[in-house]
Chain A
Amino acid sequence: MDVLIGQLATGLSLGSILLLAALGLSLTFGQMGVINMAHGEFIMAGCYTAYLVQQVVSSAGTSLLISLVLGFLVGGAMGALLEITLIQRMYDRPLDTLLVTFGVGLILQQIARDLFGAPAVNVVAPAWLSGGVELFGAVVPKTRIFILILAAVCVAALATALKTSPMGRRIRAVVQNRDLAETSGISSRKTDITTFFIGSGLAGVAGVALTLIGSTSPTTGQSYLIDAFLVVVVGGLGQIKGTVIAALALGFLNSFIEYNTTASLAKVILFVIIVIFLQVRPQGLFTVRTRSLV
């Protein structure tokens, strides 16, 4: 029984990590159909931001809180910069943006290697997050609970922002029908930059959170990228609840399969499941219904 509880907790935790990594991606992908392969490197930038902040602020707890804010800003700035310089020229060629952002990712990885060195660097977790919590016989590390809470907060914040704030309404308008939104007076240019800022900022936050459980090295982003994409593909574009449900579902599935087989086999089986799922629902779980044929 405690094994089952343990696996449920594991699945939930994995799902929350996937959610954090994929949340920003679903926003940028859903907004513009732009596949940002540098999203993984934005996560990595968040990790290194946490590392740098910790060099300056020695208290691990304070540095974590500062890093969360700073990670959002750094990631957001990088995303906005990417959008302004490159992506805005390529909206009519979504597949090409995949390759271009892949090139950007490569360069960012190499810069990280040259700046910080190739080996992983250590980011110390605060003392109040060390250890675990007993839960019906299973032990759940406090860091994972923190990430779960953080993911929930991010989703809530994003959902509220999108629903109630004027900027959120503008973003939703552009997602649903860009041309109509423009004729209504919304500057789609500004909205695009804002969306990219928020999406990449969320990646930065994810990176900061991930320093609690993983390593910080130039290749950190790569390990989360494919999974984040699969979450977005399964969840569908344009609605947050799709991303949330897909992330949790994939997290539970992955843990369950991994427990019964091996981790490598779990990845392959999960891929097959996703392909089969797309047969049934090619547009993903939830999508914005438009009249457009595309």
Chain B
Amino acid sequence: MQRPPRSLMSRSALVAGSLIATTSLLLAGCGSKASDTEGAAAESCVDTSGSTVKVGSLNSLSGTMAISEVTVRDAIKLAVDEINAAGGVLDKQIQIVGEDGASEPTVFAEKAEKLISSDCVAAVFGGWTSSSRKAMLPVFESNNSLLYYPVQYEGLESSKNIFYTGATTNQQIVPALDYLKEKGVKSLYLVGSDYVFPQTANRIIKAYAGANGIEIKGEDYTPLGSTDFSTIVNKVRTADADAVFNTLNGDSNVAFFREYKNVGLTPQAMPVVSVSIAEEEVGGIGVQNITDQLTAWNYYQTIDTPVNKKFVEAYKKAYGANKPTSDPMEAAYVSVYLWKNTVEKAKSFDVKAVQDNAGGVTFDAPEGLVTIDGENHHITKTARIGEIHPDGLIYTVWESPGPIKPDPYLKSYPWAAGLSG
């Protein structure tokens, strides 16, 4: 069998491939070299001619974040069902197009793009982690569509294409610090998960502490999902601060509170204020491990107003009597109604009309009256410090005098002057 000489044959692959690749690339031609022309915004394909209007619900239904986000999806659906039963928006019935973000920012970005350009939704409700929101931000800005984001986060962001119905730092963390100061706390220990929200929160806390004479006795981080807190709790115990500010996330809280209790630290001697523990998480931690500890949110299931009672009843009726309602859920519920109210004020689904008319739109929410701030697209929220009771629910022990205006860049706080550029 006569085979061609090795050298000739072995090179043909490389030559062939490279030549064809480069030729094709050159033939394809270079795209626009324009580097700072603002390209025309993509044409919106939202179809408002018929009797329905589509909105997107983009939440993680699988993966590690599914824990929290499934409930957000349910709350969105509850709001949509209620609105539809009352006649819809501008006489159109809302149709939800649901997508799974799979706890993965790339998937969130991809599905957001799909919802906007293929499904032509008028607005998208969802997202949870900051990384998913940051991944989706360019998609919404370049397609000029709207995202309603319902989760408390670290602030320092505002986009004309996103409406933030969760708390920013001056509506959750700063009021918590005010409460602690009021109670006479003179030293704090900071414990958090090692990612952007706790790191940013702790910077804010340190600036506040510096301006208010509170000593920070220690600052410790653990990787997300970490379950070993023996070292950290040991440090907390020996540092002997007046209180602990806890920005841990997820399963880490379970291990932390068990260790905390077993080492003999009590909420009376050294209370822990947490910002990521809502009614659902209390069950997983074990009520006996966390009774009398504090949380900082804007909404609790136990809020005693007729609006909230109606909301809780409706939710439990739709999804089960043993399902609690929590802050992000309520914020998602609120976001749908705020969109509806803005659309009705603007008398149009058009994105620009919604953006122009958003300022001043209100809604009588389960957490109280909320108003959209037209400048930074956040909403006013009442801050509430809660105490966990043996029944597993959280009860308000302190409430801010009224709804707090959102200030994501902390511009109105002199002690926060050096924090953001």
Task: Give the shortest distance, in Å, between A117 (CB) and chain B (any CB).
Answer: 8
A114-152 residues with Cβ-Cβ distance < 8 A to B are 118-125, 130-132, 138-139, 141-144
CB pair A259–B227 under 8 Å, yes or no, is no
A138-179 residues with Cβ-Cβ distance < 8 A to B are 138-139, 141-144
CB pair A215–B221 under 8 Å, yes or no, is no
Residues of chain B lying within 8 A (CB to CB) of residue A9: 230
CB pair A215–B255 under 8 Å, yes or no, is yes
The segment out of A217-225, A235-243, A274-282 that lies at the interface is: A217-225
Asked if B87 is an interface residue, CB under 8 A from chain A, the answer is no
Q: How big is the B interface, by class? A: 35 or more
Q: How far is the CA of A263 from the CA of B195 in the complex (A)?
A: 12
Which of A's residues lie within 8 Å of B, judged by CB?
Answer: 2-3, 6-7, 9-10, 13-14, 17, 110, 113, 118-125, 130-132, 138-139, 141-144, 212-217, 219-220, 222-223, 255, 258-259, 262-264, 267
B355-394 residues with Cβ-Cβ distance < 8 A to A are none
Residues of chain A lying within 8 A (CB to CB) of residue B66: 113, 118
Residues of chain A lying within 8 A (CB to CB) of residue B281: 119-120
Asked if B347 is an interface residue, CB under 8 A from chain A, the answer is no
Instruction: Select one of B238, B255, B285 contacting A213, CB under 8 A.
Output: B255
Residues of chain A lying within 8 A (CB to CB) of residue B220: 262-263
Asked if B254 is an interface residue, CB under 8 A from chain A, the answer is yes
Asked if B261 is an interface residue, CB under 8 A from chain A, the answer is yes
Nearest first, the 8 closest Cβ-Cβ pairs linking A and B are A120-B284, A141-B262, A215-B254, A118-B67, A122-B286, A10-B230, A215-B251, A263-B222
B276-292 residues with Cβ-Cβ distance < 8 A to A are 280-281, 283-288
CB pair A255–B231 under 8 Å, yes or no, is yes
Residue of A whose beta carbon sits closest to that of B225: A223
Instruction: Select one of B223, B231, B255, B258 contacting A10, CB under 8 A.
Output: B231
CB pair B67–A119 under 8 Å, yes or no, is yes
Residue of B whose beta carbon sits closest to that of A215: B254
CB pair A214–B194 under 8 Å, yes or no, is no
Known contacts A119-B284, A121-B283, A214-B251; is-contact A131 B226 (Cβ 8 Å): no
Q: How far is the CA of A139 from the CA of B258 in the complex (A)?
A: 14
Residues of chain B lying within 8 A (CB to CB) of residue A264: 194, 221-223
CB pair A258–B255 under 8 Å, yes or no, is no
Asked if B64 is an interface residue, CB under 8 A from chain A, the answer is yes
Task: Give the shortest distance, in Å, between B266 (CB) and chain A (any CB).
Answer: 11
CB pair B221–A262 under 8 Å, yes or no, is yes
Asked if B234 is an interface residue, CB under 8 A from chain A, the answer is yes
CB pair A215–B194 under 8 Å, yes or no, is no
Known contacts A138-B234, A215-B254, A262-B221; is-contact A130 B262 (Cβ 8 Å): yes
CB pair A122–B238 under 8 Å, yes or no, is no
Residues of chain B lying within 8 A (CB to CB) of residue A17: 228
Instruction: Select one of A3, A6, A119, A143 contacting B262, CB under 8 A.
Output: A143
Task: Give the shortest distance, in Å, between A284 (CB) and chain B (any CB).
Answer: 24
Residue of B whose beta carbon sits closest to that of A129: B262
Q: How far is the CA of A125 from the CA of B254 in the complex (A)?
A: 13
Residue of A whose beta carbon sits closest to that of B235: A259
Known contacts A124-B286, A141-B259, A213-B259; is-contact A258 B231 (Cβ 8 Å): yes
Residues of chain A lying within 8 A (CB to CB) of residue B263: 132, 139, 141
Task: Give the shortest distance, in Å, between B216 (CB) and chain A (any CB).
Answer: 16
Instruction: Select one of A14, A122, A219, A263 contacting B223, CB under 8 A.
Output: A263
Asked if B270 is an interface residue, CB under 8 A from chain A, the answer is no
Residues of chain A lying within 8 A (CB to CB) of residue B254: 120, 214-215
Q: How far is the CA of A122 from the CA of B284 in the complex (A)?
A: 5
Residue of A whose beta carbon sits closest to that of B238: A3
Residue of A whose beta carbon sits closest to that of B228: A14
Residue of B whose beta carbon sits closest to that of A3: B238
- Among A10, A125, A214, max chain B CB count under 10 A is at A214
Asked if B346 is an interface residue, CB under 8 A from chain A, the answer is no
Task: Give the shortest distance, in Å, between B82 (CB) and chain A (any CB).
Answer: 25
Known contacts A3-B238, A122-B283, A132-B264; is-contact A144 B230 (Cβ 8 Å): yes
Known contacts A6-B234, A213-B259; is-contact A122 B64 (Cβ 8 Å): no
Q: How far is the CA of A3 from the CA of B284 in the complex (A)?
A: 31
- 5 A-B pairs with CB atoms under 8 Å apart are A110-B62, A124-B288, A215-B227, A215-B251, A217-B284
Residue of A whose beta carbon sits closest to that of B282: A122
Q: How far is the CA of A119 from the CA of B227 in the complex (A)?
A: 15
Q: How far is the CA of A10 from the CA of B62 in the complex (A)?
A: 35
Asked if B96 is an interface residue, CB under 8 A from chain A, the answer is no
Q: How far is the CA of A117 from the CA of B412 in the complex (A)?
A: 43
Known contacts A215-B284, A262-B194; is-contact A139 B237 (Cβ 8 Å): yes
